[in-house]
Structure formats: structure tokens, C-alpha cells
Amino acid sequence: MTSTVTVSGIGGPRLTLGFDRFDRLDLDRHLAVHGRLRAPDLDDIVRMCEQVDLRGRGGAGFPFARKLMAVAARVNYPTADQTALLPGESGGERGSSEDVVIVVNGAEGEPGSAKDKVLLERAPHLVLDGAQIAASALGTQRIVVAVEDDEAARSVRAAISERRMPARVVRLTERFISGESGAVVRAINGETPIPPGVKVRASDSGVDGYPTLLSNTETFAQLAVLISLGSDLYASAGTEEEPGTTLLTVGGTQVVEAPLGTPLQAVLDHCQVPPSPGVLVGGYHGMWLGPAAVSRAVLSRAGMRRVGGTVGAGIVLPLSQGTCPLGEVTRIASYLAAQSAGQCGPCRLGLPDVVRSLNSLTEGAGTVEDVRRAAGIGRGRGACTHPDGTARFVLSAMEAFAADIDAHRWGGGCDLSTYGVLPLPVPDGSEGRVAIDWSRCDGHGLCAYIVPELIQLDRYGFPVVLGTDIPSWMEKDVQKAVAMCPALALRVVDGVPDIPSRR
């Protein structure tokens, strides 16, 4: 994916320093560009992170210093006069907290994001610098880099070999929920890579049950930049409240490094994005902004909150003119429903209901209130954040695209086609969907009792199929429903449909 991604910047580069000269920074190039870093002790790192309010760049924006202190509280860590050395140097005392694990979360299951893959492919040593700085401060050598992308995995393995460091790379499956922290820990532990369903802090019990410092790829790269520049110089970019730069993925194809505090419209202009009926910020668990909000939005947590948006994981997806906004929202909601782990009611039943309500609204038969009711039923009760994030995405669309929704409600359509401009994974041929042979179906209704998540009965007792891919956790139930259909009318078909036309 990243081979087709362009990288640029607004202002001076930090994370992307050297990208204008090198496709990939191997160890020699990295040291020439960023220099050789010494790792401060834990107290100094915590102080520096607090001075610039370094936050995680994976979406939640959790303070990095608090993560460090939470892990340190579980173990004995080096004292303030101990230091450790980074690549190319020898000697240096390490702490005794050998059970602590540092995890670089390079999972980027969201289709619209590419920034972490870019970092891992082109600047792997910057990321490993940050991981090793944290590891040295906590007195451990156990570093795990969890990645989904083949090129990223090869780049990191090569960097680990160049540094001769005791770290390992773990491959993750490419799923939307694979980047959730609990899912990453489970994958590293050899378990099913889905959220655990019960909130367990990685700092308490993570990889192999040991205290684990888990953070996003960019976060570790930011830590390395902070240690390299120092707090004052790091804070020379960005705003007083939110210093530094951040990486954005715009439209799924452009990665931009920009200072926090940059107007969103300036980022869109830099990427030559034409005027849009709406811009999604924060990705598919983010929020839609209409044109007026986009013109006032500022790239910071506070700036986005003021206009009803979020920075999230730095994903910016403008909607192209000429495509049906409601059709695009329904298309992505269908994808999100199929991406759930299926371990709680809000995902198993709630997300399909959200898709059904959106389909009805698109066809002019439903109302916005139906969508809001469906999206609000399981709020706060999911086994992970997936149902709440999906609801946020859908509900913000009800506000941003009110005019388009009115056209659907009163006219049965907006006279625009759904072109599928929002990115989704390229189908690999393994997807399947439920279909019904209407020449055979007698309306027994047994299928709706076996797989109510995918099939419901209309008022005449005949099945209505939800048009989403079959989630992996439902495959056995679907096979059972197909086998038990009295009329042999139920079947599984190729799950790579044409983009539906909404006219």
C-alpha cells in the first residue's frame, strides 16, 4: 500500500527528516540524519513527556508519561543515575526489570491509514530508538514490534538485524479491530487476535502476563524526536498547549507531517483536495465535518473538539463531489458491522440494526430517528470500543449530511451514485455473503432464527438479508442455516459485489 503513498510536510520535517534524500533510512543513514541518542533515566523521560504533554498517536490520545509510570509502578526500574546506550555503543548498565515488555503497535487495520506503515518502512530505526529508550529506562530488553504489512515487517526485521538488538517482529492479521491494544496482546500471546472482552490494562498484565508498555508506532518515533531535540526545541513547533508535529493520512494516499495547530483547510489545500461536501476526521471511528466546520477546524485535540471532530489516529478522508454521502456512510457501516469480533450484543445485533436502519433511510423508508435509536441502544455496553466508534461515525453523518438525508427521505434518493470513494480493503476472494434463491424460498423462516444477525423476516414471514460480508465468527452458523433450509433456498455467494448505484 505505501508504495503508492506520497509523503510531504508542512513546516520543517522531524519524523520525516531525510525522506527527501532516502527511500529508507538504514542504520548509517539514520545516524547521519538523527544522530546517536543516549537514553535518559526514567525520571527524566517522564518529566520531558509531561513538559510537552506527549500523547499517544494511535487514536485515544492517552498521556505517554502516565503509561510509563503505570508500568514502572509494577516493577523495580533503574535509578536516576543509570543510563543506557543506543545502537553502535557498548557498555551501560541495565535495570533488573527483565519481565517488562515494550510493544510497538504497528497494526494499521483501518483502510484509510498509512502513516505507521510509512514510518516502519522508511524510518524503522527512529521507531526502534523510541522503543529502546523506553526499554532502557524500564530496565528491560524485551521489545516486540507488531505489524500487519509485509514490507513493514521486512524493513523492521532488517533494522533489528542492523542494530543487533534482542527484539522480535510479530505478524498480525489485517482486520479493523486488530489494532486494539487487547487484540495486539492476544495476538502476541498466540491467542485469537480479537479484543479480550474484559478491560485489562497492559501495564498490569500484557504479553505473557507481564507488565507491558504498549503504544502506537508514531508515539515511539515522537519519543525519539523528543529525546533528540529536548523539550524546549520540541515545543518550538505546534501550539503552547499541544507542542510538536503529527502525521496525517489524507485520502488514504498522502501522508503529511504538520505542526499541531495547523488549520485543517491548510492541510487539505496542501494535498490539493478540492472542495468537499464533508470530511471524515479520525477515521471510521471518527466524526464527519461539514464544509463550515472544516473551514474552522484546527489540527489539535482542542481545535477539533470545538467543531465536533477528533484528531484520532490522524486519518482525514474527504468525500468527493458527486458521490452519494448517505450511500458512502451505509457502505462503510456495512463493512464495520462485518468486522466485529461478535462477542457482545451491541456488535452481534446492534451493528446489523444500524446498517438496516441506514438502508431504510437511503431508500426513503426510514427516518433519522430510527438510525439514532439503533446506534444508541448498545452505547457504552460493548466488549470493546468498536460499537461505540461505529455509532459515532454514523451519528455524526446524520448531522453533517442533513440535506442529502432529506433528499432521500422525501424523494427516495438524491440522484447521486455511490462510487465507493472511501477506502476499503481489496477483496481477496475469501469473502462471502448470504443470498436467497427466490424460486425456492417458501418463507419457512428457519434461517432468521439461526442467523438473526444477518437475516430478519418481513411482515409476510419472508427473509430479508443484510447485505454485508459474513463475519468470520458467523461462518459456522451460516453453514448450519444453509444446511437446514427446508427449501434449499439459502446459499453463500461471492462477497465482492458491484458498487451499488443510488439513483
Convert the pLDDT of each residue in 55-96 to its tens digit. Answer: 999 888 899 999 999 999 887 654 444 344 455 443 333 334
Mean pLDDT of 253-261: 97
pLDDT class of 501 with cuts at 50, 70, 90: very low
499 has pLDDT over 90: no
Assigned C-alpha cell, 310: 477528533
Q: What is the pLDDT of residues 287-301, one digit of tens each?
A: 999 999 999 999 999
**Residue appearing with cell numbers 455509532:** 391
| Amino acid letter for position 378 | G
Q: What is the pLDDT of residues 364-397, one digit of tens each?
A: 889 999 999 999 887 878 888 899 999 999 999 9
**Residue appearing with cell numbers 492517552:** 62
Per residue, the 3-state secondary structure of 72-110, as one string, reads HCCCCCCCCCCCEECCCCCCCCCCCCCCCEEEEEECCCC
Which pLDDT score, from 0 to 100, does residue 89 have?
Answer: 45
Q: Are the CB atoms for 103 and 202 separated by under 8 Å? A: yes
Which pLDDT score, from 0 to 100, does residue 86 have?
Answer: 52
Distance between CA atoms of 411 and 437, rounded to whole angstroms? 31
Please tell me the least confidently modeled range out of 168-172, 188-192, 194-198, 212-216: 194-198
Q: What is the pLDDT of residues 115-166, one digit of tens each?
A: 999 999 999 999 999 999 999 999 999 999 999 999 999 999 999 999 999 9
Please tell me the least confidently modeled range out of 166-175, 344-353, 371-380, 425-434: 425-434
What integer best gives the mean pLDDT of the chain? 90
**Residue appearing with cell numbers 482486520:** 175
Distance between CA atoms of 155 and 147, rounded to whole angstroms? 11
How much is the pTM? 0.90
1 has pLDDT over 50: no
271: nearest Cα among 261, 284, 282, 258? 258
Distance between CA atoms of 127 and 143, rounded to whole angstroms? 11
| Terminal alpha carbon distance of the chain | 32
The four Cα atoms 163, 168, 173, 175 give a dihedral, to 10 degrees, of -70
Distance between CA atoms of 384 and 180, rounded to whole angstroms? 9
Length of the chain measured in residues: 503
Which pLDDT score, from 0 to 100, does residue 495 have?
Answer: 67
pLDDT class of 426 with cuts at 50, 70, 90: confident
Alpha helices in 189-300 (DSSP H): 217-229, 231-234, 264-270, 291-296
Q: Give the number of other CB atoms < 10 A from CB of residue 381.
A: 12
pLDDT class of 98 with cuts at 50, 70, 90: confident
- DSSP 8-state assignment for residue 53: T
213: nearest Cα among 74, 83, 100? 100
Q: Return the H-helix or E-strand segment holding 136.
A: helix 124-138
Mean pLDDT of 245-268: 97
Q: Is 165 helix (H, G, I), strand (E, B) or coil?
A: coil
